[in-house]
Structure 1
Amino acid sequence: MQRQSFIVDAMLGRLARWLRILGYDTYYKNDIKDWKILKIAEETKRIIITRDRGLCNRAKKKGLPCELIQPGIGIEEMLVQLANNWKIDLTLDMAATRCPECDSILEQMGKDRWKCPKCSKEYWKGTHWITMQEIIIKAKAKVNTNGEEPDFARRLNVRHRNSVS
């Protein structure tokens, strides 16, 4: 099954890293301009993730899928929002993980070690792995499985996305 691909605006670098760790092809640059996000999303069929309401509105006018992330919510809530609205899989699977820095698929070097073939960074299951698993467990517990709009989205009146064709 082909997974969604995303493009994340400059305000959501931490979320871009998480999506990559979860195995999603995620385009992110911390200095990318809105016009470039729209162009790349259109050309590569990526879902735009942004905190910029104006960018989201321009994306919708162009018929591009977009998810508006509200200010003030943490990574756990962002992951829940994406799981509810885009059905992303909240599973930490090192066989699918991408480099959090450059988005390349990691290569396994040993039982618990991985290396990025592009930027040569090395990764392993250290104490940070436990923290990441805890965040994922908490997020999974909040994911809506009955098809209703999530509670935080109702409270904030959030549903700024187009369906993916």
Structure 2
Amino acid sequence: MQSQKFIVDAMLGKLARWLRILGYDTLYSNNYEDWKILKIAEETKRVIITRDRGLCIRARKKNLECFLVYSSEDLIDILAKLSKKYKIDLNADPNFSRCTECNGVLEKIDDNKWKCTKCGKEYWKGSHWRTIENTLIKARSKIKNNESRAISSS
């Protein structure tokens, strides 16, 4: 299990699913109002991830950690930046993943199948796994490219 915990606002549901795939405890609901996100983050020591600048400003005034996502950033950019800032491991392992639907912990059933301990949804390592791995390769590559540019420009 990964130690960092997040709460993601309604505009970033796809990102919430990716963080769960990576094994991070990530709360998400498209019904959370800003005050609720702030309250949950404060009570459970979660990083807020949002596209809402106002929410981020209010979070920082309360000394809560907030990561602002810009509308111009795609999933690869966001994952790379989160990885760099919060030391997120961009390697997916279904043995440590969480349920993309409810955030529950997955339990291994057999060599290629996992089941959510909370909602019962089943997961398997099918052809979609290649897409997951390719996305994460691109995000890791983006980090390396940015580091290479930073070194060559100094």
Aligned equivalent of 2:24: 24
- Would you tell me which structure has more helix in proportion to its own residues? 2
2:100 is matched by which residue type in structure 1? P
What is the identity, as a one-letter code, of the residue corresponding to 1:16? A
Inter-CA distance 93–66: structure 2 relative to 1 (3 Å threshold): same
Quote the residue 2:130 is aligned against. Answer: 130
- TM-score normalised by length of structure 2: 0.91
Alpha carbons of structure 1 residues 96 and 55: separation in structure 2 relative to 1, 3 Å: same
% identity of equivalent residues: 58
**C-alpha separation in 2, matches of 1:63 and 1:9:** 18
The 8 Å contact of residues 84 and 144 in structure 1, kept in 2 or not, is answered as no
Structure 1: 5+ residue runs without aligned partners? 151-165
Does the 8 Å CA contact 2:50/2:67 hold for their aligned counterparts?
yes
Q: What is the DSSP-based 3-state SS (H/G/I as helix, E as strand, rest coil) of the residue aligned with 2:141?
A: helix
Distance 1:76 1:146, change over 3 A: closer
Paired residue secondary structure (1:135): helix
Matching residue of 1:140: 140
DSSP-derived class of the 1:48 partner: strand
**Partner-residue secondary structure (3-state), 1:143:** helix
Matched residues, number: 149
- Cα distance in 1, alignment partners of residues 145 and 23 from structure 2: 21
Aligned to 2:119: 119
How do residues 40-79 of structure 1 correspond to structure 2 at under 5 angstroms?
Answer: 40-79=40-79
- Say which SS state the counterpart of residue 114 (structure 2) adopts: strand
**Alignment partner of 2:137: what SS?**
helix
Query: C-alpha separation between the residues in 2 aligned to 1:82 and 1:13?
Result: 15
Q: Which runs of 5+ in 2 are unaligned?
A: none
3-state SS of the aligned residue for 2:108? strand
Q: Deviations over 1:53-75 (max 9, x none)?
A: 00000001100000000003221
* 8 A Cα contact 2:2 2:24, kept in partner: no
Residues 92-115 of structure 1 deviation map (CA, whole Å, 9 limit, x = unaligned): 111110000011110111101111
Which whole-Å deviations, capped at 9, do the CAs of 1:32-51 have from their partners, x for residues lacking one? Answer: 00000000000000000000
The 3 A distance-change label for structure 1 pair 61 and 145 is: farther
- 2:54 maps to a residue whose letter is G
Structure 1 consecutive aligned stretches of length 4 or more whose deviation exceeds 3 Å: 144-148
Q: 1:82-97 maps to which residues of 2 (within 5 A)?
A: 82-97=82-97
